[in-house]
Each structure stands twice: as structure tokens, then as C-alpha cells.
Structure 1
Amino acid sequence: MNDKLPLYKTFIKFAATLGTLNGLSISESKKVLLNNFEIHPNNEQILPLIEKLEIEQDEDIRFLFNECIRICDELGPSREYITLLVILEGITSIVSENGTLKQNEIANSVLQKFKDEITLINQKIPKPPLFNMLLETRSLIEWTSIYCIYPFIPKRIKGEGRPVLLIPPYLGDDYSTSFVRKYLTSLGFKTYKWEMGFNMVKSHYIPRLEEKLDDIYQAHGEKVSIVGWSGGGIFAKIMANRHPNQVEQIITIASPVWGVMEMKTPVYGILEFFRGKSLKDRNKRFLEELEPIPDVPVTCIYTKTDGLVPWKHCMEAESYRNNIRNIEVFGSHSGLGANASVLLITANALSANIQGQTIQEATNNIERVLYPFYWKNKKRRFSFKKKKI
């Protein structure tokens, strides 16, 4: 959070100034900000900034706008900026209801310009480096070693017959998710296959998926959790956006869940060969359904050494809502279906989200050593003790 604090300080002042310059009182602007940041993961640091905020009569809105964009550009592309856009939309909406026509036009113009600038920044996500692509050869070791590791993976979670639909990655079939399904089944979850052959990530699968989701929902009389790996996560998110009343939660594994129209990948040639046409001819309407954040718990599993998909595209905005989680694992993109960490995190996320817990709260045993956040916390504690000495 410390690296983003200057951004939030500047943005809060910018958003409040936008409101006050267009007919809102300072108290009304602060109320909108307080309501939006109340569910932010770092609200303890942000809310006091809003409460202490003071706006001078001669505040330069252009300077504050440019400062926000400059800081965002320096921080680099991030899905988290969607939270800022939502807050600006809230301010603009109130101006539209209470302000004059001119004030409405000014507020909407500033909002659109801010959106355009953020879009340009988020288009700068580079494709995975060549080194990461070479590391994809690890997947052979991951898929081979899982046969030896699997019997020793702890089985403490209780699935209690909860339905889970698993969707394979691009060019993968139900075999791709066999270890995840086997593990979840052993915990007591009721797992369901994709059953549509190889996943080519095309929109014509959606009607059949919707029918399958409805069948599972009707059979159990309860919402269905969906787990999607890579291209499978695209369908998981679309199903959650279309049918939040039937979806309990989604878990995506190295799935590009936003910005796919502009995504850069080192395997363009392979993708175009199998699609039979240029990636420029992607189904725009289909991919645009990925952009909204579904109103269900979302857990995104990603790896920074992904050699096929830029890992920043695989993270959802945690600042948008408190039931959105991004969890890093160590491994290759192609080997995540046989990664012990992925199996554990998937099971823990399914259970934790149903019980209203966080993943850390649901992970108190020896398997914590397979979670990157465990080692990051250990590193921070070690550094603190070292400084103390």
C-alpha cells in the first residue's frame, strides 16, 4: 500500500475538487469518497485522509488530474485503477443529478479523459519475457512429479457435496483438469467436467455452458462454484457476469480476466494457426463481457513466471471489493494443473469463500509452506527482527 499512498492522496483531492467545482459541497464529495473507500482493503489508511481533506477555492483541477495520471504511469499498468474510475463515475453521476447542464458536461468530459488515459497506461503491459517462455519446459517436470507428490497433499478441507464445475485451458480438455478434479472429489466436493472436447475459447460454447450450469444448479438446488484454468477462466467470469444468481464464486488459474483485446503473448503464431484467422478478428462482444467484475467472490491464482500470459492480466482488482483475492504461486503456466500449490489454494478458496473467511484464515497447517504469501510474511518478520537487533 505504501507505494500507492501518494496516488490515493492525490486522487482523493482530485475527485473531491471535481465535485466541488461542479456544484457539490465539500461534505457531499467527501461522503461519496467515504462510501466508496469504506470497503477498500486499506480503508484504515485511506478514510482518515478523506476526513481531514480540505479544498482551497483556487485548487487547480488540471494540475491534480495530471498528477494522478503521472503517478499511475509511474506505478505502471494495473487493474486496480478500475476502483478509481468507479469512484469518479459516482461523483459524475451526482453532478448529473444536481448540477447544471454545463457542469454535467465538464464532469463527464473529465471522466472520459481520465478513462482514456488509464486505458493507454494499461495497454503498456508487455508480453512475457523469452526467459519465462523457456521456463515453460518445467511443466514436464510438474506433470511428472505430481504422481509422486499427490498422495502426500493434505486433505483437511470438507467439501460437503458442494458442486464445482471445472473448465480446461485453451487447447486443453478434461484431462487437463484431472488432478484438480481428483483432489476436490477426494475432499467431498461434487465435481463436474467440461465435456466439450478441446477448449478453443470460442463464444459458441457459451449456450452449452449455460445449459450445463443450469442443470447442475437445478440438481443441487444451490449455487455452483466454477474453476477455470487459463482460457477456462474466461468462461468462468462470463458465466458469473451473466448468471450471478447461479454462481457461488469463481476461481481462475492463470486466466486473462481483463484487457484481453490488447493482450500481448509470445505465442501469437500458434494461437492464430489453431483459430484459423488473425487474433485481430477476435469476437469483440465476447471479450467485452470479461471487463465487468462479477458480483460473486473472485479468487485469481497467477504466477509471475508465466511464459504464455502476462501475469498482470491474470489479476482482478482487490481494491474494488473485499471478496476479491489475487494469490501468487510458483510454477509455469502449462504446469499449473499439476501444481500442488494450485490444488491446495483452489480447495481452500472454495471453502473459505463459502464460509466468509480469507485464505490465510483457512490455512493454518503445514501446507502453508506452499503459499508464496507465507514466505513473504516470514521475510518481513525476519527483516523486522534484524533491524531491531
Structure 2
Amino acid sequence: MMFRQTDVATGAAQISARLGEWREEIARRGGLAFQRRPDGARGPRLNWLLGELRTPVEHWQATRKARVHAPVAPPAAPDTVSRAVMLLPGFGTHPVRMKPLARALEAAGHRVCDWGLGFNFGPTEERFDRLCERVLAMARKQGEPLVLVGWSLGGIFAREVARRHPEAVRMVITMGTPFSGDRRANNAWRAYQLIAGHSVDEPPIGQDMAVKPPVPTVALWSARDGIVSPRSACGRKGERDLAIAMRCTHLGFAAHPDVADMVRRLVAAD
């Protein structure tokens, strides 16, 4: 009986200690989420943020317009080259959100895979190492460097992989990725700090996000982006090789037909 009482008391103490650790962690993350935005760092205006709600409607309109104005002709032939492409999802999203982009690239004859890490809840050194291992393995399997297409935070991962392993990366295409300027010039940094558990100023990877990787780097950005500052996603000369403006929301980068067509052309032209 004494043994059982001691065992119960020990278990209760362990549970109490664990609950205390959880409370401390929640409080720490809450403090990160409610930090004051520095002066001069501004994300997109509220009306652009609310405009993100129109993303499904815009996709439907763009797809319908393309069908109405498409000439009556046989289906377009696949691109003359076939590239190995890896898609990296945005913060808080799963690779399934990029399926429309994957289908468009596959229809053009490219070989597409996702990053293999499930939901993107922010970087850790372990997750980044696993991503690097996957990129190296896929490059060996495909017999050629990969084209990395990163949406939002996925683009930060892509740029960092290319910086560490340029021999395994043919090109990096970022879509609405905040790699330039102030790291709080967006409307997602508080959610990022809450979920990822670290400050945007001290990430496990991407300490020098604006430094261009030693491979061709293209930044797709949109003046209608309601989450990431267009200037941060566009970047400055020397931070990327080419910047191309799109007309879509931030959420739209993952599936908008115009974006998919642009990515397809960039991959084929490389």
C-alpha cells in the first residue's frame, strides 16, 4: 500500500511539473506573439489582408476566363525539357495546398515532388537538416539538380538549402517570400512567433535571408499581397536575379493559374 501511495505521489508530482512547464511555454510564446511592432515595419494594409478572403473566387474567375478565351485547338504539347522540381509549402500549410501547381508542372512534363515534411510550422535545425537530406537524395535519384519552388516561408527554406547545397539546386523560385527588408514587414510575424516558438530575429535558419543564394533566383511578388509586404517579397537588386510581379493574393500563389503558368515557363526556360 505504501508503495502505491508513493507511486501515485510521484506521478502527481511529475504531472504537476509538466503542467508548470507547459504554462511557462505558453506564457513565453504569448509574449512573443504580442511583441510591439518596430517603428517603420509595416505589413500590407487591412483592406489587402481582407482581400485574401477572395482567393477562391479569384481562382474560379481566372480559370473560367482562361477556358472561355482558350482557342479551339489540340492540347498544348509538354515543354521540350523535363526538370526535377520540389515544391515547398508556406507557413502553416500542407503540401496538398500546392497540388494545382504540381498538376500544372506535371502536365508540362516535369517531375514534381513535395518537400516531404508535412505541415510547415516553422524551421528547426532538425527539420532543415532533414530537408537538405531529401534535396540531396532527390537530386541523386533524378540525376540532376532540383528546381526549388517555395511559397512564402517555403521560399526561405528553398533559399537556405540552395545556399548550403548549391550543387543540388538548379534554380530557386520564391512566391510571396519575405526575404528582404524588415522581418516584421508582414501580417504573419506574430502568428509565426507564437507557433514556431522563436523570434523572427533569431530563427534556427535564415539569419541572412537577403543574401542571394549562388544559383539563379527568381522572386514572384504581388502588389495585392495581403500578408507579406510586396517590397519584402520583391527584394532588391543583388538579393535575387529577377523579380516578376503577379496579380494575385498571397494565398493565391499556391494555386492561381497565372502563377502556375509563370512557374511552368520559368522552369522550362532554365
Which bin holds the TM-score, normalised by the shorter protein? 0.7 to 0.9
1:300 partner SS: strand
Q: Pick the structure with more strand per residue.
A: 2
Q: How many residues align?
A: 226
- Compute the displacement of 1:306 (Å): 0.8
Per-residue deviation, residues 111-166 of structure 1 (Å, max 9, x unmatched)? xxxxxxxxxxxx84521111111111111213555665677698455163310010
Write the distance in 2 (CA, Å) between the matches of 1:199 and 1:155.
Answer: 34
Equivalent of 1:185 in 106, 116, 121: 106
For the pair 1:222 / 2:144, whether they are aligned, the reply is yes
- Compute the displacement of 1:257 (Å): 1.6
Write the distance in 1 (CA, Å) between the matches of 2:160 and 2:169.
Answer: 11
Unpaired segments ≥5 residues, structure 1: 1-122, 355-389
- Compute the displacement of 1:239 (Å): 0.8
1:225 partner SS: strand
Write the distance in 2 (CA, Å) between the matches of 1:294 and 1:327.
Answer: 18
- Alignment match, 1:132: 48
Equivalence map 1:250-269=2 (5 Å)? 250-259=172-181, 262-269=183-190
Equivalent of 1:330 in 247, 252, 264: 247
Q: Pick the structure with more helix per residue.
A: 1
**Which one-letter code corresponds to 1:333 in the other structure?**
H
For the pair 1:292 / 2:211, whether they are aligned, the reply is yes
Contact 1:163–1:190 (Cα < 8 Å) also in 2: yes
Bigger mean CA deviation after superposition, 291-300 or 230-239: 291-300
For the pair 1:339 / 2:256, whether they are aligned, the reply is yes
For the pair 1:195 / 2:116, whether they are aligned, the reply is yes
Contact 2:81–2:268 (Cα < 8 Å) also in 1: no
Write the distance in 2 (CA, Å) between the matches of 1:150 and 1:233.
Answer: 28
**Which one-letter code corresponds to 1:316 in the other structure?**
G
Write the distance in 1 (CA, Å) between the matches of 2:268 and 2:41.
Answer: 33
The structure having more radius of gyration, on CA atoms, is 1
C-alpha change, 1:146 and 1:176, in structure 2 (3 Å) is farther
2:205 partner SS: helix
Equivalent of 1:302 in 197, 213, 221: 221
Contact 1:125–1:310 (Cα < 8 Å) also in 2: no
- Compute the displacement of 1:305 (Å): 1.3
Matched-pair identity in %: 23
- Alignment match, 1:141: 57
C-alpha change, 1:266 and 1:222, in structure 2 (3 Å) is closer
C-alpha change, 1:281 and 1:314, in structure 2 (3 Å) is closer
For the pair 1:350 / 2:267, whether they are aligned, the reply is yes
- Compute the displacement of 1:256 (Å): 1.0
Per-residue deviation, residues 253-286 of structure 1 (Å, max 9, x unmatched)? 10112335x32323444334433x4x53653452
For the pair 1:242 / 2:158, whether they are aligned, the reply is no
**Which one-letter code corresponds to 1:191 in the other structure?**
V
TM-score, normalization: structure 2?
Answer: 0.75
Write the distance in 2 (CA, Å) between the matches of 1:216 and 1:244.
Answer: 14
Write the distance in 2 (CA, Å) between the matches of 1:281 and 1:184.
Answer: 32
Equivalence map 1:31-70=2 (5 Å)? none
Write the distance in 2 (CA, Å) between the matches of 1:146 and 1:194.
Answer: 27
Per-residue deviation, residues 73-131 of structure 1 (Å, max 9, x unmatched)? xxxxxxxxxxxxxxxxxxxxxxxxxxxxxxxxxxxxxxxxxxxxxxxxxx845211111
Per-residue deviation, residues 295-354 of structure 1 (Å, max 9, x unmatched)? 111111000111111111112334x39x811000111101221211111110111122x2
- Compute the displacement of 1:174 (Å): 1.2
RMSD: 2.6
C-alpha change, 1:312 and 1:125, in structure 2 (3 Å) is farther
TM-score, normalization: structure 1?
Answer: 0.53
Write the distance in 2 (CA, Å) between the matches of 1:340 and 1:200.
Answer: 26
1:207 partner SS: helix
For the pair 1:210 / 2:132, whether they are aligned, the reply is yes
For the pair 1:316 / 2:238, whether they are aligned, the reply is no
C-alpha change, 1:257 and 1:192, in structure 2 (3 Å) is same
Contact 1:238–1:289 (Cα < 8 Å) also in 2: no
Write the distance in 2 (CA, Å) between the matches of 1:346 and 1:226.
Answer: 11
